[in-house]
A and B are shown apart, each in its own frame.
Chain A
Amino acid sequence: MSFMLKPKVAHPDLPKNALGLTRRDYEGANSTLCAGCGHDSITAAIVEACWANAIEPKNLVKLSGIGCSSKTTAYFVAGSHGFNSVHGRMPSVATGANAANRQLGYIGVSGDGDTLSIGLGQFIHAIRRNLNMVYIIENNGVYGLTKGQFSASADVGSTAKKGEINNQTPIDPVQLALTLGASFVARSFSGDKAQLVPLIQAAMHHPGFALIDVLSPCVTFNDHEGSTRSYEYTREHYEEAVHTDFVAPAANISVQYSEGESVPVTMHDGSRIVLRKVDKDYDPTDRGSALARIRERLRAQEYLTGLLHISTNQPEFHELNATPDLPLNQIPYTKLNPGAAALAKTLSRFR
């Protein structure tokens, strides 16, 4: 993509969040992805969600692996530290970072190649630990940087740009996460910002592992007829099961939802999400029935989207490890050092 540098001047009338920051303050370096790439829309949604949630940039850490999607962490919130690690192993870096400082927010951006092939082991173990982070998969069914090989999420029967047909069964990160007990599982589409932004906002408030699998067409290698991950195909084959509205702590719910169709969920920090059921038979709080419904619709070649499952009572990584509220990287050395007398006492059993 050819591009020009955006001048860093903000119009005085740009809306400001609670921190007095504008959306421009949440932008990053210019994207070097192809024009029309779905990933850039997701980047825009992340910028919007961070602004709307009034995230202090220094309190966010951005993590990624290798691939087109993993590059995008450089394209949002320039005021946050970022770590672009090695292929498929962002979850371990996120685990270590979170272990050291539980107070920061962690957002990981990965792709279907990065997460579902070499990264599958680390992905599922981060879920098992219920690591408190937002994990976004920018899922396009294809390897872009190496020019168009199928990824592990490619559907059976989907064709590559040069006509090859995929005949291996896909790995669906949503179903995988549900079977592993993930506490926040969502699917969205890069072309549906209205759905995606509140999902990211809610994910940031979820105390545990929050997965958002975002169908994100690759305009260069997977947007042709015969592909099941093109813009056209995705638009025709995705249906929203549950719409999520995010309500910040202390804000009033202004919209009245009719009972039976909406489920308000209060998060640990006082924020609320309101799940509006588009599909009346869908229950996002019941893992088993949610999984069954997702499978049933997939068999009919329909992707159910929205916040597909949430449970708010699962202990996260630090609770499971009984660490203190004060981040480990801030405990003064004087508290970590047991001292010479304790050493002598400890060594007495080695005499």
Chain B
Amino acid sequence: MPYAAPNRVNDFVIKIATVNGTGSASANGLLMKAVFRSGVPVVGKNYFPSNIQGLPTWYEIRVTRDGYRARSGQVDIMVALNVETYARDLQEVTSGGYFLYDSTWPRPALMMRDDVTVLGVPFARLCNENFTGVRTRILMKNICYAGALAALHGIDLDVIRQLLAETYAKKPQLVDNNMKAIQLGYDFAQQQFSCPLPLRIEKMDATRGQIIIDGNTAAALGCIYAGATVGAWYPITPSTSLMDAFKSFGDRLRVDPATGRKNYIMIQAEDELASIGMVIGASFNGARAFTATSGPGLSLMQEFIGLAYYTETPAVVFDVQRVGPSTGMPTRTQQCDIHSAAYASHGDTRQVCLYPANPEECFEFAPIAFDLAERLQTPIMVLSDLDIGMNDWMCPEFKWDESYVPDRGKVLDDEALAKISKFWRYYDHDDDGIPQRTIPGVNSKGAYFARGSGHNQYGAYTEDSADYQVVIDRLRKKWLTAARMVPKALIESGNGTELGIVTLGSGDAPVREAIARLGAQGVKLDYMRVRGFPFGDEVEQFLEAHPVNFIVEQNRDAQLRALLTLETGVAKNRMRSILHYNGMPLAAKYVIAGVMAEVQDYSRPAAQLVRK
């Protein structure tokens, strides 16, 4: 069903279809920022190919006065600048929408839909007449469409001018060139069409205290503030920008002004087998170390993750999930590594996972991940995804709590080691399953031999069944301790309903929007977002309190539902899957459709929905 409200002011979607490598990113960013600076909430999604130049690419700007944070799944105005995709781009426009194209060349075949208004602006001709040089003309053509859109949507040109001045502060001649292109598009649209369209921007005051940032940048900044000093990685989409950002923040925030030396190191490893090994080596030596990767990299890291689990060595792994299996679709999003992260490696292993939902949680979870890694002496998997990691999110500006002190866990220093007669690496002194740990270079009394082979609680090699079992059982006890330490599930219940809806990570934004929209239709849902694994007691309690729980996730195999089934005592038939796994970010409309398919007659008691 269409959700088009009669009032489209500050509530519509612009989608821009261009060719990869033509510089359209800056024009798209400029447009989105201009809306944001007008005080109107925005969502920016980039649908790009695994390619450097030549393949089709799209950018979607959702203007949302209600401040929704998910993609909407509809297109109100399509800016079609890629001839290759004209036909499908036209098909995608919502009935009643607009189709803006480059009319330098006539396209009679475009007039195939009578429910879409086609608008032609001769971008190429305008730019060819006004600029010289092939590259400049191509770049200015993109800026030119931003100008046309400014007129069509009533965006204040002063806001655009200011943004350009900030962007090109060091190259003022570029401001003039760009502004000229903007004006060309703007004037043409003003003269030819009745501007602004009903899809227009009206200034609001809903973006104060907000920033626009992607999750990878936020996670990198979080690592800087968490005190990480060693980052080891192998390039892989969509995690690469996390490490790029760590380097750029490091060069800005971590260089000793007196010596020029860097208080961090970034190691580009030969592969993910090595990057995780480096993280383990650095953590063993007491540095805060991390890596960033995606599904294929996580697969390669499995053996080493098991070693870290069994030798009880901290490690932080950011897994920015992309579409699998195998190479899959590297530039599309999914939540498909839930299983391979939770049970990474052979043998009885289980890994602590965190599931951030947006860039602000990527930032907040970074210090939590390092604290947990050191407190629990185990790998911490932070499962972001391409949607969170690489798209542009409006977030409340991050704040830093100056009172934060890193939790180094049970590390015995020189003084503590001097006081004890003997150090036993894997002994459970505190009955919480967490042993004591030492760092090399401090005191030879604390020396121990970390090994992936069988060891007893004193740290010595063993092939003795009972000795082996003491350690492996203590690791289980540590796991139960971990369940009390990971971020609790976020629960919003008490809506007087028997229907629960559960998601994790980037499912948050679309599910929240779906809850709001369904609520307006009289379907009430209680909400739970899982934020960590192992699950706390609250997870099971929520599921038990609702006869029907919709489990919303972005993979084919219902991995979260399976994990909930395995790790809680909740009956399977209380959990109903809503799955979305085509690689595009989840939109509320799919969640609503999934819920409505089950709740045809929502006056019916929910208990009746439980399948026998």
Given A93-B277, A346-B249, residue A99 in contact with residue B227 (CB < 8 A): no
B262–A100 contact, CB under 8 A? no
A84–B287 contact, CB under 8 A? no
A54 CB-CB contact with B under 8 Å: no
Segment among A10-18, A149-157, A247-255, A335-343 that sits at the interface with chain B: A335-343
Segment among B3-11, B152-160, B252-260 that sits at the interface with chain A: B252-260
Contact partners of A321 in chain B: CB under 8 A: 262, 265-267
| Residues 409-466 of B contacting A (Cβ, < 8 Å) | 438-444, 446-453, 460-461
Contact partners of A104 in chain B: CB under 8 A: 285, 440-441
A274 CB-CB contact with B under 8 Å: no
B461–A100 contact, CB under 8 A? no
Q: Count of A residues near B, CB < 8 Å?
A: 60
Identify 24 residue pairs between A and B in the complex whose beta-carbon atoms are under 8 Å apart, listed by A's number.
Answer: A58-B440, A61-B285, A61-B440, A74-B461, A80-B440, A89-B277, A92-B273, A95-B232, A101-B440, A122-B274, A125-B269, A321-B267, A325-B261, A329-B286, A336-B224, A337-B227, A339-B400, A340-B400, A343-B221, A343-B225, A343-B399, A343-B400, A344-B397, A346-B221
> Which of B225, B279, B283 has the most chain A CB within a 10 Å cutoff?
B225
> A324: nearest residue on chain B (CB-CB)?
B261
A99–B441 contact, CB under 8 A? no
B146 CB-CB contact with A under 8 Å: no
| Residues 222-262 of B contacting A (Cβ, < 8 Å) | 224-225, 227, 229-230, 232, 249, 252-254, 256, 259-262
Shortest Cβ distance from residue B51 to the other chain A in the assembled complex, whole angstroms: 27
Give the total number of A-B pairs whose CB atoms are below 8 A apart: 223
| Residues 286-341 of B contacting A (Cβ, < 8 Å) | 286-287, 289, 303-304, 307, 311
What 10 pairs between A and B have smallest CB-CB spacing? A96-B281, A92-B277, A79-B444, A100-B287, A96-B278, A96-B282, A100-B285, A93-B281, A81-B440, A97-B281
A99–B267 contact, CB under 8 A? yes
A3 CB-CB contact with B under 8 Å: no
Tell me the bound Cα distance from A333 to B224 in angstroms: 11
Interface residue range, chain B = 35 or more
B450–A339 contact, CB under 8 A? no
Given A96-B289, A323-B265, A347-B211, residue A338 in contact with residue B229 (CB < 8 A): no
Tell me the bound Cα distance from A80 to B254 in angstroms: 31
Contact partners of A79 in chain B: CB under 8 A: 444, 447
> Which of A81, A96, A125, A339 has the most chain B CB within a 10 Å cutoff?
A96
Given A74-B461, A324-B261, residue A96 in contact with residue B280 (CB < 8 A): yes
> B401: nearest residue on chain A (CB-CB)?
A340
Given A74-B449, A100-B229, residue A85 in contact with residue B402 (CB < 8 A): no
Contact partners of A96 in chain B: CB under 8 A: 230, 232, 267, 277-285, 289
Tell me the bound Cα distance from A120 to B366 in angstroms: 34
Shortest Cβ distance from residue A83 to the other chain B in the assembled complex, whole angstroms: 5
B188 CB-CB contact with A under 8 Å: no
Shortest Cβ distance from residue B208 to the other chain A in the assembled complex, whole angstroms: 10
Tell me the bound Cα distance from A56 to B442 in angstroms: 11
Known: A83-B450, A329-B285. 6 other contacts (CB 8 A): A74-B461, A96-B283, A99-B281, A338-B253, A342-B253, A346-B253
Tell me the bound Cα distance from A86 to B304 in angstroms: 7
> A333: nearest residue on chain B (CB-CB)?
B227
B286–A100 contact, CB under 8 A? yes
Contact partners of A325 in chain B: CB under 8 A: 261
Shortest Cβ distance from residue B12 to the other chain A in the assembled complex, whole angstroms: 23
